[in-house]
Structure 1
Amino acid sequence: MRLHRLVLTNYRGITHREIQFPDSGVVVVSGANEIGKSSMIEALDLLLEAKDRSTKKEVKQVKPTHADVGAEITAEITTGPFRFVYHKRFHKRAETHLTVLEPRREQLTGDEAHDRVRAILAETVDTDLWQAQRVLQAASTAPVDLSGCDALSRALDVAAGEAVQLSGAEPLLIDRINAEYLRYFTPTGRPTGEWAAATKRLRDADAEVARCAAAVAEVDDAVRTHATLTADLARLAEERAAAVEKLAAARKAADEVAALTQQLKQAEVVAAAAEATLEASVAALTERRRLRAEVDERAAAVAELETAAAQAHEEELTAKEVHEAAEAAADAARAAVEASQARVDAARRAVEQLSDRDEADRLARRLTKIDSANAEIGRLERELASIAVTDALMRDIETAAAAVELAAAQAELASAHIEVVAAADVELQVGGQTVTLPAGATWSANATTPTEFAVPGVLTARVVPGAPASDTQAKLDAAQQVLSDALAAAKVDDVASARTLDHRRRELVSAKDKLTATVHGLIGDDDVEALRARLAELSSDDGSEDPPATDPRRARAELDEATAAHRKAVADCETHRKVAAAATKRLGERSTEAATAREKVTTSYAELVARRDRLHQQRATVSDDDLLVKAEADMEKARRATGLVADLGGELARCAPDNVAAALDEAERRVDTLTRRHDEVADELRVVAAQLKVYGTEGRKCQLDAAETEREHAEAEYLRVHRRARAAQLLRSVMNRHRDATRQRYVDPFRDQVERLGRIVFGDTFEVEIDPQLRICSRTLSGRTVPYESLSGGAKEQLGIVARLAGAALVAKEDSVPVVIDDALGFTDPDRLVKMGAVFDAVGGDGQVIVLTCSPQRYESVGAAHHIELSA
């Protein structure tokens, strides 16, 4: 099959397009996306398969939306000995025209033209091969299936040596065998036609014989049932009479038991009333005792709660005093912050007043020390190198110092304060140190750690702080250790030294920066004379006003010290604020606890008074002794009533009431059962008698004889058709087995062709495994085998194209169909694209290969390709 020309008019978005295809070789049809490349293949399929009046969805979808016209398709095709021009218009004014040019000229229209083209294609084109030789966008990596292509099978038979010359009659025997097989079986192996009809006839005959035999057996069963039911009816009448006599005796015994039961119930009512009275008396006595116990418990609880309330009140007063002290300290800290802020503002204003004089001084130094500026910069750098303090280290020192101050304040607040007043001259030993106190002198200290006091020869005392003081001391020790580490890293002894050294470092850095700026200014854009003029100008200005007498360095030092003092004051203020907040919280907790304790005392006392009043009221009504006497009397009455119930119960038990009731129930059920069964048997006997009358008029034995005769005829027909069907099935299976064996032999020629073309792309070590259905199972490169499904998308796409081109190379010239590749090789790298171009060149001259793509540069390596560019 060859496609010579394709014309589309009003097809989807294509107004008109005509393409001429060369008879052989590779044709690359390129164009932008959505220009209608894939639509060409779709249009060719619709032209060859759908009628012009078709209402299928595929036909409706190609109708143009920009105009109310019908889509038209024209193609010129050569297949086998036929060459024809085929035209169809769909949707509006549908029409079909066929002009056969070779081997003899024909012209047909309408359905006759459609049927003629279908007949030509069925005679000359392997449609399975035509569908398989396409690489479409949606399935470019799917494995190619060539197993159903008869044209390829014939070509592989020739390549495998099975046939030297084709006679054209090779499939005739298999077709006849298949036709004979399909007389009896469907393609899936289920019975059909004569074989299904014979089987159904025999099955229906068997069913009819079974039905008639069942009908005759039903008559015999009815006769036997009539005799059985007659005997059963007489037996049930005798049994029912005996059961009626037993029922009368059982009812007499049941009446005697009922009388005793009534007497027992009356005695139980009296005993229950006595028991209820006794329970009420015992409950009243128990309640009186419980109420006395509750009064005693409530009195003890009130005493305990009053003690707890007094203690809570004391704690509240203590917390209030602590809170007032903390608030006073916080107010003092806030006043210190405000004073330090005023000092900082004054120092900053003094520094600003000195800025003009500093500028004049700097200009004078720059003009008088130009030659020595670089030497001075060197000296400053050497001095800076000897200083270990840095900005980051100084920030760590300041942070650690603030933490130490905060921890010290917390430790002082949490520690015990010890004060000693000497009544006479005395010498103390405090923590291993000697303290001498004259008479009337006072000595005090804060104890944050265990401290021992001793008066030699008199006494020794040891003060151990509580857990809060120990915790704050531990925090203080940790903060001091962090500060010591930071000071050691800065190579200074204390924070003041660090601040002084940092201040010196900042001064050196500032001086170095100023000298550097002066040098760059003198060497760069500034002019010395201009600088002198500026200095003269500043000097004249200084003469008009009295310069401030404060030393600039002392002013800056004062600003730094004021700033540091302000920071410390802020930190102290924050510490006192937190302490005051904690004291406020503690006071609130103690106040709440005291209020709760007072409320509990009030509530408990009210409950105690209520219990006492209730006890007095009850005793005014009935005394404790009267309640006890009444309970004992009620107990005696209940004992007598219970004894009477026991006597009657024993007499009733000797009569065995359960056995009497069971015997009565059994007798009644027996009579009811026999009566119901007697009536049922009588009804069944009447029904069976009526059925026997009807059966006598139906002639069921004659029907059974006729059914058995029909079954004999059906069985004979079944056996005859069975032999023929099984023979056709056996012959077909043998032929298929031999054909499968032959197909297994022609896998090798197909594999050889695939490997020949594949080695152009993948190299000399390329091998593939092909199954009997001509599908690629795996690929081997350099001894490494990978299943087809595990390959990359690019490798799958390349192998699919190689397999189709191999099939096209093997198929005989008269059986070939165009290989259509729709926008493939999108997963292929540039090196492989070049090699795939060599594959196209290797097979392009043997058939027609049509490539549709939006990237024609992918196929630049196909040397003999014919390029067609589509435009909108």
Structure 2
Amino acid sequence: MKLHRLVLTNYRGITHREIEFPDHGVVVVCGANEIGKTSMIEALDLLLESKDRSTKKDVKQVKPTHADVGSEVTAEISTGPYRFVYSKCFHKKFKTELTILEPRREQLTGDEAHDRVRAMLDETMDTELWQAQRVLQAGSTAAVSLSGCDALSRALDKVAGDAADTPDGSGTDSLLIDRIDGEYGRYFTATGRPTGGWSTAINQLKAATDEVARCTAAVAEVDERVARHAELAERLTGLSDQRHAVTQRCQAAECSAAALAELRKQLDNAILVATAATGTSSASAAAQAERSRLCADVEARRARIAELDTEVAAALDAETTAREVAEIASATAAGSTAGLVEAEDALATAQRVVAGLAGREQADRLAAQLARIDAAQEQLGEIEAQVAGIALTSEVMADIESAAALVERFETQLASTATTVEFTATADLELTVGGEVVRLAAGERWTPPVSAATTVELPGLVSIHVDPGAATAGIQDKLIAAQGVVTEALRQGGATDLDNARDLDRRRRELISSRDQASATATALLGGDDVEQLRVRLATLREAIDPELAAAGVDHDTAHAGLAAAQQAVATVKAQAGTDARVAVEADAQLAKKSTHTTVLTEKAADARAELVTLQDRLAALRAEAGDDEVAARAAADAEAARLADAAVAELTTRYAAADPAAVEAEQTAAMAAAAALHREISEVERALNDLTVELGVIGSEGRQSSLDAAQTALRHAEAEYERVSRRARAAELLRSVMARHRDNTRQRYVEPFRAEIERLGRRVFGPTFEVEVDSDLRICNRTLDGCTVPYESLSGGAKEQLGILARLAGAALVSKEDTVPVVIDDALGFTDPERLTKMGAVFDNVGSHGQVIVLTCMPTRYVGVENAHVIELTA
């Protein structure tokens, strides 16, 4: 496949771009970042693979964001015998148009055009090779595998001497393998799982086996139910014989329970009588005890009143004494408080004097700091002005150095290849060289530079034309181009020559270092503060300075001595005032305590007198109802009646316990449970017998034995079919594995031609000792230089990138002319040094002589070493 022309309209940020590519050679497409170089390859993929109405994410992302228009892609391509112009419009006004120019002119549109292009590409182009022959930015250092490229495999087969005898060169082995794979696909999936007739045979055998098992289980189920029916009939007969004995046991248990219930009723009545007698006896005893307690309480209250009257008199005397002490302590504390107020006023005056002196000192320090900050910022501004006056940046300087290195290399090459012509004057004469006059004295020698075509004239006598040759002229053109790059870079940096640029760069770095030092000094002086905030703080401090303090002329030592004396005086007075205050508080507390004690005793005496009156009234009321002797006699009679009732309860309790109520109740419960269990069991057996009779009647009409016989016959047929298909499937599997092993062995033979081609190209870059090891997937495993072997993954990024490009170029060099596809390199060789860049350029030239190599880059100077490169510069 060859790409002749590509046109993009409204594609991402590209409004319109049309590029024509030569049929062979190296094409360098250069332009700034984000100008749309990678988008060209992306657009070609969308054109060939996606339909115009596709809603895939890849198609949606290319729609321009600045306008509501459709993205259009047009390409002119030749592949095999076909040459066609193919265009699509996505997103809006969908269209697909195809014009076939060769071998005969055709025009198609829509899906028909899309399908026709896919058919032509499938017929003539190796898609795997087209995808593999790309070096993209994201994977420029990844190892490339070319084992899936049929075009390369055919080429390697021919080189290895395994080309088929058939006219098309495809060989009978490939056809046989395809037929074997087709036969294998009838029985197995790609992952080796059964499918088709083999899967059907397996499923039929499993289904027949399951059906025989089911029918066998169904017949066994009938036999099991017949045996169960006989067992249940025998069990029902035995249960009927047990029914009479269980009935007699229940009747006996009910009689015993009735006798025990009568005895329990008598015991409950006796307990009620005993409980009533006990309650009456308790009430009589409580009334007698209450009468005795009241009499004792009256006598105790009279004695307590006498004691409380004595205590009240003593408490009144103590309260009077405490009140006199509290009045004296309060007067002393008031005098101490007044002295403390005077001392604290003197201390406040001394503190204001000291604070004023401290504020004045802080304002002086802050003013000095602001002066140093202003000086540092002034110095920083001067340095920044000098830096701004230098147009040369580090990036421009790097470009100058890189371009200067290329100029030096081309000058060296030019010096080694240029033609040398020497003129010796036998007499004084004048020569005209390129329109300029050169004067030579007799005997003087002159050697003109002839790196380019030069004409030397001796006016009126002779004209000499000196041509250095195409090789030297090519180097001269590259030298002029490199010098132009140096001149442009010097102009951008504001320098006159390389030495001046280096002086400017050194001066810029010195100024930047000084600027950083001045900035650090200013930052350290600020200490994280803002300079305007410092100025505001200084103004605030100066406003707070007391004018009277400044006028008084008090010095620092005198102010601090006065402050210390005032602090000592306050401490002394405060300590005395605290002592006096505590004494006054303690005296007040003692007065309150004595007063409270007197009040409490007085209230207790009043309460005791009130309680005595209440007790005397209550005792008189009770004696009016019944005398003390009458209450005692009633209590004795009620106690005797309670004793007799308790004796009757004890006798009935003994008789009830002797009847063993727990045993009687347990026997009645057990008899009833046995009767209920027997009834349930008989019901269950009868129901089970009835169900089995019904089920056996239904099963008898199902013909389960005949179903089993039919299932066994079907199983024998399924087993026979399984064995037949199994033999064919296993044979296909065995044949495929043998042919796969044969194909792998064949693949090992064509690894050698591929390795040899990589080494042929690589020795131009790495030297004569360069060797590589290639596996059966045509992937580079390791590299050897000067006898040192390094695995691919351990190589540097630059070496990996170079080997990846060499592998793709080797593949492009090996495939036949009709199978070739463009090699696309997107902004690669960024890890490569200038020397290897030149050598890689020679490899590009070699491979580009019989195919297309398309290089996309933002640094065209990397590919100056490609002598025959066709450069296309992209503009926004």
Tell me how large the CA RMSD over aligned residues is: 6.0
Are residues 1:852 and 2:863 paired? Answer: no
Contact 1:808/1:817, CA 8 A, preserved across alignment:
no
Which one of the candidate residues 169, 172, 177 is aligned to 2:175? 172
Task: After superposition, give the CA deviation of every residue in 1:20-73 in whole Å (9 maximum; x if it has no partner).
Answer: 223444433333454333332222112211233444444444445666654332
Counterparts of 2:768 and 2:338, CA distance in 1? 96
State the match for 2:557 in structure 1.
564
Counterparts of 1:775 and 1:337, CA distance in 2? 93
State the match for 2:47 in structure 1.
47
State the match for 1:434 in structure 2.
none
State the match for 2:700 in structure 1.
696
Structure 1 residues 325 and 693 mapped into 2: Cα distance closer, same or farther (>3 Å)?
same
Task: After superposition, give the CA deviation of every residue in 1:484-525 in whole Å (9 maximum; x if it has no partner).
Answer: xxxxxxxxxxxxxxxxxxxxxxxxxxxxxxxxxxxxxxxxxx
Structure 1 residues 247 and 337 mapped into 2: Cα distance closer, same or farther (>3 Å)?
closer
State the match for 1:813 in structure 2.
815
- CA-CA distance at 1:721 after TM superposition: 0.7
State the match for 1:126 in structure 2.
126
Structure 1 residues 205 and 837 mapped into 2: Cα distance closer, same or farther (>3 Å)?
farther
Q: Secondary structure at the match of 2:192?
A: coil
State the match for 2:719 in structure 1.
715
Deviates more, 1:172-181 or 1:574-583: 574-583
Q: Secondary structure at the match of 1:171?
A: helix
Contact 2:72/2:88, CA 8 A, preserved across alignment:
yes
Are residues 1:216 and 2:219 paired? Answer: yes
- CA-CA distance at 1:195 after TM superposition: 0.8
What amino acid is aligned across from residue 692 of structure 1 in structure 2?
A: L
Q: Give runs of aligned pairs for residues 247-646 of structure 1, distance below 5 A.
A: 247-258=250-261, 325=336, 328=339, 331-332=342-343, 334-335=345-346, 563-574=556-567, 576=569
Task: After superposition, give the CA deviation of every residue in 1:157-192 in whole Å (9 maximum; x if it has no partner).
Answer: 677x58477932253232222211111111122211
Q: Give runs of aligned pairs for residues 30-41 of structure 1, distance below 5 A.
A: 30-41=30-41
Contact 1:319/1:583, CA 8 A, preserved across alignment:
no
Q: Secondary structure at the match of 2:3?
A: strand
Q: Secondary structure at the match of 2:8?
A: strand
Are residues 1:116 and 2:116 paired? Answer: yes
Structure 1 residues 316 and 344 mapped into 2: Cα distance closer, same or farther (>3 Å)?
same
- CA-CA distance at 1:6 after TM superposition: 1.1
Contact 2:343/2:570, CA 8 A, preserved across alignment:
no
Deviates more, 1:178-187 or 1:584-593: 584-593
Contact 2:142/2:804, CA 8 A, preserved across alignment:
no
Alignment length, in residue pairs? 637
Counterparts of 1:267 and 1:277, CA distance in 2? 17
Contact 2:841/2:866, CA 8 A, preserved across alignment:
yes
Q: Give the TM-score, by structure 1 length.
A: 0.58
Are residues 1:84 and 2:87 paired? Answer: no
Structure 1 residues 808 and 577 mapped into 2: Cα distance closer, same or farther (>3 Å)?
farther
What amino acid is aligned across from residue 672 of structure 1 in structure 2?
A: A
Deviates more, 1:694-703 or 1:854-863: 854-863
Counterparts of 1:727 and 1:747, CA distance in 2? 31
Q: Secondary structure at the match of 2:190?
A: coil
Counterparts of 1:604 and 1:727, CA distance in 2? 121
- Structure 1 spans left out of the alignment, 5+ residues: 346-557
Counterparts of 1:681 and 1:38, CA distance in 2? 89
Counterparts of 2:269 and 2:867, CA distance in 1? 124
Counterparts of 1:859 and 1:248, CA distance in 2? 121
Contact 2:782/2:789, CA 8 A, preserved across alignment:
no
Q: Secondary structure at the match of 1:707?
A: helix
Structure 1 residues 121 and 655 mapped into 2: Cα distance closer, same or farther (>3 Å)?
farther
State the match for 1:666 in structure 2.
670
Contact 1:337/1:566, CA 8 A, preserved across alignment:
no
Are residues 1:201 and 2:212 paired? Answer: no
Deviates more, 1:226-235 or 1:256-265: 256-265
State the match for 1:238 in structure 2.
241
- CA-CA distance at 1:76 after TM superposition: 2.1
Task: After superposition, give the CA deviation of every residue in 1:608-654 in whole Å (9 maximum; x if it has no partner).
Answer: 999996996898779xxx9xx99x99999999999988877776565
What amino acid is aligned across from residue 232 of structure 1 in structure 2?
A: R
State the match for 2:685 in structure 1.
681
- CA-CA distance at 1:724 after TM superposition: 0.9
Q: Secondary structure at the match of 2:242?
A: helix
- CA-CA distance at 1:132 after TM superposition: 3.4
Counterparts of 1:247 and 1:843, CA distance in 2? 116
Counterparts of 1:586 and 1:780, CA distance in 2? 101
State the match for 2:735 in structure 1.
731
Task: After superposition, give the CA deviation of every residue in 1:547-593 in whole Å (9 maximum; x if it has no partner).
Answer: xxxxxxxxxxx987754222221233345556777888898999889
What amino acid is aligned across from residue 855 of structure 2 in structure 1?
A: V
What amino acid is aligned across from residue 73 of structure 1 in structure 2?
A: V
State the match for 1:16 in structure 2.
16
Structure 1 residues 76 and 682 mapped into 2: Cα distance closer, same or farther (>3 Å)?
same
Q: Secondary structure at the match of 2:709?
A: helix
State the match for 1:444 in structure 2.
none
Counterparts of 1:756 and 1:586, CA distance in 2? 111
Contact 1:809/1:843, CA 8 A, preserved across alignment:
no
Structure 1 residues 71 and 336 mapped into 2: Cα distance closer, same or farther (>3 Å)?
closer
Q: Secondary structure at the match of 1:708?
A: helix
State the match for 2:28 in structure 1.
28
Contact 2:26/2:868, CA 8 A, preserved across alignment:
yes
Contact 1:760/1:838, CA 8 A, preserved across alignment:
yes
Are residues 1:227 and 2:230 paired? Answer: yes
Counterparts of 1:137 and 1:62, CA distance in 2? 19
Counterparts of 2:96 and 2:28, CA distance in 1? 30
What amino acid is aligned across from residue 720 of structure 1 in structure 2?
A: R
Structure 1 residues 723 and 580 mapped into 2: Cα distance closer, same or farther (>3 Å)?
farther
Structure 1 residues 250 and 334 mapped into 2: Cα distance closer, same or farther (>3 Å)?
same
Contact 1:88/1:95, CA 8 A, preserved across alignment:
yes
What amino acid is aligned across from residue 700 of structure 1 in structure 2?
A: R
What amino acid is aligned across from residue 813 of structure 1 in structure 2?
A: V
Structure 1 residues 32 and 211 mapped into 2: Cα distance closer, same or farther (>3 Å)?
same
Contact 1:334/1:573, CA 8 A, preserved across alignment:
no
Structure 1 residues 341 and 203 mapped into 2: Cα distance closer, same or farther (>3 Å)?
closer
Counterparts of 2:346 and 2:704, CA distance in 1? 129
Counterparts of 1:687 and 1:561, CA distance in 2? 125
What amino acid is aligned across from residue 676 of structure 2 in structure 1?
A: D
Counterparts of 1:80 and 1:672, CA distance in 2? 99
What amino acid is aligned across from residue 201 of structure 1 in structure 2?
A: Q
Contact 1:126/1:149, CA 8 A, preserved across alignment:
yes
Counterparts of 1:602 and 1:238, CA distance in 2? 102
Structure 1 residues 808 and 582 mapped into 2: Cα distance closer, same or farther (>3 Å)?
farther
Contact 2:353/2:559, CA 8 A, preserved across alignment:
no
What amino acid is aligned across from residue 705 of structure 2 in structure 1?
A: K
- Structure 2 spans left out of the alignment, 5+ residues: 357-550, 620-627
Q: Secondary structure at the match of 1:817?
A: coil
Q: Secondary structure at the match of 1:172?
A: helix
Q: Give the TM-score, by structure 2 length.
A: 0.58
